[in-house]
Amino acid sequence: MLYTSTRGIKGLVTSACVIQKGLAPDGGLYVPVHIPTLSRDEILEMCDLPYSTRALRILSYFLTDFNDSELYSALVNAYNQKKFKDETTPLSIINNRLGILELWHGPTCAFKDLALQLLPQLMTLSAKKLGDERKTVILVATSGDTGKAALEGFKDVAGTEIIVFYPNDGVSDIQKLQMQTAEGNNVKVFGIDGNFDDAQRGVKEIFGDAEFAKELNDKGFVLSSANSINWGRLVPQIVYYFSAYCDLVKKGTIKIGEKINFVVPTGNFGNILAGYYALKMGLPINKLICASNSNNVLTDFLKNGKYDKKREFYHTMSPSMDILVSSNLERLLYYMTDSNAEKVNGYMEDLNADSEYKINEKEVAELKKIFYGAWADDEKTKERIQLMYMVNNYIIDPHTAVALSALNDYRANNQNDNHFTVVLSTASAFKFSKDVLKALDKNYSGDDSSVAAMQKLADKIGGKTPNRLKNVTEKPVLHSEVIKFDDMRQKIKDFLFTEQ
Ligand SMILES: *Cc1c(COP(=O)(O)O)cnc(C)c1O
């Protein structure tokens, strides 16, 4: 399989190259030159396989630089029982029309683990295939979940170093502790004196600094990114759409070939785009429902085809979806324009110059055949958390609640649609204990420490606080340094050049 850029740069590249580079040199995103399709029988065959083998089937279509045994050992490393539950992505059947796909049973209780447990291995394999002996240095600016999931994924992976910058006054207590206690010989974490934008701007500037790149190169290092625009992060996410479908067939909930809907709590459009690839690969999907919070730029886009980022930015109780520019949407535009890179280029230029672009009628019609957009504010989010608990005795986190609210909107407007629907659940409720407690009990003050709040939530539902979250308060803090924006380069060099 070869890859091209959404902005049409000449020449095709291999999967190893795509994974190592992340972003195409023309600023576009890499897409496969064709999308393989699976027959009904091939999907049926997958139903009897465990998760890692289902994943192997999907990955081997796209990552053709690696042989099956390389891919399989990477997959078993990523999705073994020490790291995930027996079923990597368990599916809870809530009623005869609704299932919830729990994507948060990985090491950091975030759905990002599914991609970030695999990406580091794909990166080292890629470097090997390309004969690149430099060490890959992953730089991450994080507002929370990505940082910890990346630290956990890259920890002690040979040939890599990972450095994470978080805004000192911009992450939750638990998230900060998760990062400060990160273990591993190739791991470094810094707080940045500032907010998320400062951290992100700093990392972006470093990526664009040719002189710095040369300095690193001379010492045998090359910078790379674990951001969700990397194809190596997207392709593992296609797997759980197929896997959920297979589980439904196995349980007898649906018949093979029957179409289902998926609802996806969306930020950067990576997760739902993986669902779109699954559909193009032949998975029987009726609708992909794109759920947003008050930062509802995608809901508007899916209604009228106008992407307009000039709007107020809201801090919501579903922070991983607080985003106004969804980078992965560029890949969808590429498909909606029949692979017209020139058009995609134009839209992206408009977005840069005017902070908006508008696709044409035909493209909007194409979009609407597949996608439906809906959004929920914090009030509606809380209502869903409460409703789900009262009616189904099932606890959801705010991101999942946004998705359930969007489904409610969809059903109200599409009463003839009786397809079984799977909601993707992207975080453990315990990561957002205070907000969940507030949703369940209007009188809850929220004055507790994060650990006390987790315990209260556990008591309320008669369960236990996940050890993986509780542990962080007992582990030693290994990274407490808070640095100035201007010192980022020096700190990177200090870590890389003096370590061994
Ligand atoms: C990252 C994240 C999302 C958004 O996923 P995208 O792929 O960026 O659309 C949703 N929920 C949670 C909990 C996340 O961490």
pLDDT for 197 equals 76
Smallest CA separation from ligand 1 atom 1, residue: 320
Ligand 1 pocket, residue 320 CB under 6 Å: yes
**CATH number of the domain where residue 98 is located:** 3.40.50.1100
Q: Mean per-residue pLDDT for 326-332?
A: 93
Ligand 1 pocket, residue 103 CB under 6 Å: no
* Whether pLDDT at 98 is above 90: yes
pLDDT for 500 equals 52
For 380-398, write each residue's pLDDT tens digit. 999 999 999 999 999 999 9
How many domains in the chain? 1
Tell me what percent of the residues of the chain surpass a pLDDT of 70: 100
Q: Mean per-residue pLDDT for 64-82?
A: 95
Residue 9, in any domain of the structure: no
Contact 258, 418 (CB under 8 A): no
What confidence tier does 208 reach under pLDDT thresholds 50, 70, 90? confident
For 261-284, write each residue's pLDDT tens digit. 999 999 999 999 999 999 999 999
Residue 342, in any domain of the structure: yes
3-state secondary structure of 393: coil
pLDDT for 499 equals 60
Residue 81, in any domain of the structure: no
Q: Mean per-residue pLDDT for 145-164?
A: 93
Smallest CA separation from ligand 1 atom 14, residue: 320
Ligand 1 pocket, residue 426 CB under 6 Å: yes
Report CA(429)–ligand 1 centroid distance (Å).
Answer: 14
For 223-260, write each residue's pLDDT tens digit. 988 888 899 999 999 999 999 999 999 999 999 999 99
Ligand 1 pocket, residue 228 CB under 6 Å: yes
* Whether pLDDT at 215 is above 80: yes
Report CA(322)–ligand 1 centroid distance (Å).
Answer: 9
3-state secondary structure of 99: strand
pLDDT for 324 equals 87
Q: Which atom of ligand 1 is nearest to the CA of 271?
A: 7
Report CA(129)–ligand 1 centroid distance (Å).
Answer: 31
Return phi, psi of residue 126, to 5°.
-65, -45
Token pair belonging to 52: 């890692």
* Whether pLDDT at 474 is above 90: no
pLDDT for 6 equals 96
Report CA(111)–ligand 1 centroid distance (Å).
Answer: 7
pLDDT for 62 equals 98
Residue 356, in any domain of the structure: yes
The Cα–Cα gap between 390 and 39 comes to 41
Residue 71, in any domain of the structure: no
Ligand 1 pocket, residue 399 CB under 6 Å: yes
* Whether pLDDT at 169 is above 80: no
Residue 174, in any domain of the structure: no
Residue 263, in any domain of the structure: yes
More confident: 10 or 397: 397
Q: Mean per-residue pLDDT for 168-180?
A: 84
Supply the residues annotated as catalytic.
112
pLDDT for 449 equals 87
Q: Which range of residues forms the domain containing residue 425?
A: 91-108+232-465
pLDDT for 463 equals 82
Residue 304, in any domain of the structure: yes
What confidence tier does 172 reach under pLDDT thresholds 50, 70, 90? confident
* Whether pLDDT at 407 is above 80: yes
The Cα–Cα gap between 199 and 191 comes to 9
For 31-50, write each residue's pLDDT tens digit. 999 999 999 999 999 999 99
* CA 264 distance to own-chain centroid: 11
141 to 155, 198, 228, 317, 479: CA distances (angstroms): 17, 9, 12, 20, 15
